[in-house]
């Protein structure tokens, strides 16, 4: 699995990530969602650079122009609920993309042990298509692994781009062992070293879902 950390290069992306992390600024729920959308825009633009392109003739009022445009059939998927603003930001850059949605959550067993439970999944056929799977936080990697496997039941993507703005080193290493090496690229903006006993990323940014939409019961 190839890993691309956009946060290692100075760009405005780092300013949005900083605002999302800041415990005072992130209290502005609307701004938090807006930053997720803007982050999604930037990742979409960067992913677009590695798609397949070919020249097409475009008829203008005065003649014909040859323009290189993408050939990939795209599906943009996200894990509910926090993935929705990120999904919107990515989707707004890809006019013809289809969408997939997965409701996955941690179901705790005993103590700090948990497994990923999927209650809902809707997806187009993925055979031969390029999948962009977005999730704001990549803590253990378990949710992405389970979601990827679930979506792959609806056809095998030609290539999958994982968009996870905040990731843990543990999760990255986990996915490198459990996802196809040559068919998956992970895009992130930060790789944090620590996980708590409850598998939360440190320094991370807190519970992204609650920050975007309010605390859940």
pLDDT of residue 105: 72
Q: What is the spatial distance between Cα 195 and Cα 138, in angstroms, rounded to a whole number?
A: 11
- Rounded mean pLDDT of the chain? 94
User: Which residue, 194, 210, 185, 168, is CA-closest to 134?
Assistant: 185
pLDDT of residue 82: 87
pLDDT of residue 217: 74
pLDDT in tens, 21-71: 999 999 999 999 999 999 999 999 999 999 999 999 999 999 999 999 999
pLDDT bracket for residue 112 (50, 70, 90): low
pLDDT in tens, 153-174: 979 999 999 999 999 999 999 9
What does the pLDDT average to over 113-140?
A: 90
pLDDT bracket for residue 92 (50, 70, 90): very high
pLDDT in tens, 189-206: 999 999 987 888 999 999
The token pair that represents 75 in the structure block: 């599906």
pLDDT of residue 216: 81
pLDDT of residue 135: 95
In this predicted structure, the answer to whether residue 11 has a pLDDT above a threshold of 80 is: yes
């Amino acid at each position: 699995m190839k890993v691309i950390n956009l946060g290692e290069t100075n760009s405005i992306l780092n300013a949005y990530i900083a605002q999302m992390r800041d415990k005072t600024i992130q209290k502005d729920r609307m701004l938090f969602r807006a930053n997720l959308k803007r982050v999604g825009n930037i990742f979409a633009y960067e992913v677009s650079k590695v798609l397949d392109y070919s020249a097409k003739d475009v008829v203008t009022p005065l003649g014909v122009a040859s323009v290189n445009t993408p050939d990939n059939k795209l599906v943009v998927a996200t894990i509910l609920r926090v993935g929705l603003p990120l999904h919107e930001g990515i989707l707004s850059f890809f006019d013809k993309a289809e969408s997939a949605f997965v409701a996955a959550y941690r179901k705790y067993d005993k103590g700090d042990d948990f497994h990923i439970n999927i209650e809902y999944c809707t997806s187009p056929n993925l055979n031969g298509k390029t999948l962009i799977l977005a999730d704001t936080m990549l803590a253990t990697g378990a949710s992405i692994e389970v979601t990827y496997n679930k979506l792959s039941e609806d056809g095998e993507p030609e290539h999958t781009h994982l968009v996870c703005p905040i990731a843990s080193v543990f999760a990255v290493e986990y996915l490198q062992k459990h996802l196809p090496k040559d068919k998956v690229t992970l895009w992130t903006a930060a790789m944090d070293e620590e996980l708590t006993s409850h598998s939360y990323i440190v320094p991370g940014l807190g519970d992204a879902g609650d920050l975007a939409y309010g605390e859940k019961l």
